[in-house]
Amino acid sequence: MLKRRLSIDSGGIRMNCPRCGREVGEGKKFCPGCGGKLDDGLFGRRQPVQAPAATDARLDRDKFLFNQKVLTLRPIYYVFDENQNRLFFIKRTLFALKRHVYIYTDQAFRDLAYTLRQDFIIGFLVRWFSLIDAQGKILARFRRRNLISILRRTWDIFDAEGNLIGQAIEDSWGKALFRRFGPLGEYFKTDFIITRGGVCVGKFIRRWTLADKYVLDMSDDPQRTFDRRTALALGVLLDTAEGR
């Protein structure tokens, strides 16, 4: 069951949208933040609020394998470990002004773990996304620099307090430019490097397959100083928000 945080105030029962985390008033049919339809059968019903687990075994690793499900209208991804055990199930909104991405722990897409919220409809110079947990707490933010990304895709990574903690960038200027301007460049493979304080902590590697398949490899950060929840969300954005 989707978790919703409820509260009582002078305006009646309020809750948070399970998709984007926006607070919604009683009786609303659609979320004012993301426009998603709400299950009003849960309004007025108190739901227990559980504190997030201190650790999540699904995130206790350095490598995540991303596979896109083929022959589906809505972009759907499965995230595996190195033994091909399914860890997360991801889908993105369609036909919406804000293209939110939802990360679930079950294949039925009921147990929402995280939301990647597109913060603004229009973003000419930059595009912002926020990573939100099931309790509505912002964990990290991501900024795509649109102008420089015309030549070389570049993302800045921030913590919940707005501090710049890292960057993801295509692995070389030469490969990035060839992909854009070289003969058959659209078929040329480029990867991303993930840095923290100018030091490489991970890579996002595209596999040579017909369907979209990627490896998020954080082995360069064995102490796991880079939050694996943030790393997982970044891996999602480096494909879904790039249209690769």
- What gap in Å lies between CA 226 and CA 53, rounded to an integer? 18
Residue 46 near residue 57, CB atoms below 8 Å: no
Weakest mean pLDDT among 40-49, 146-155, 200-209, 233-242: 40-49
Output helix, strand, coil percentages for the chain, rounded to the nearest 5: 15, 35, 50
**pLDDT value at 39 more than 60:** no
Give strand ranges (E) for the chain: 6-9, 12-16, 23-25, 63-68, 76-80, 86-92, 101-104, 112-118, 126-133, 138-145, 154-159, 164-170, 192-196, 199-206, 213-217
pLDDT digits (tens, 9 = 90+) for 168-193: 999 888 888 887 888 876 767 789 99
**pLDDT value at 137 more than 70:** yes
pLDDT digits (tens, 9 = 90+) for 224-235: 999 999 999 999
pTM, two decimal places: 0.73
Residue 71 near residue 61, CB atoms below 8 Å: no
User: What value does the mean pLDDT take over residues 106-131?
Assistant: 91
List Cα–Cα distances, 177 to 51, 144, 167, in angstroms: 46, 18, 19
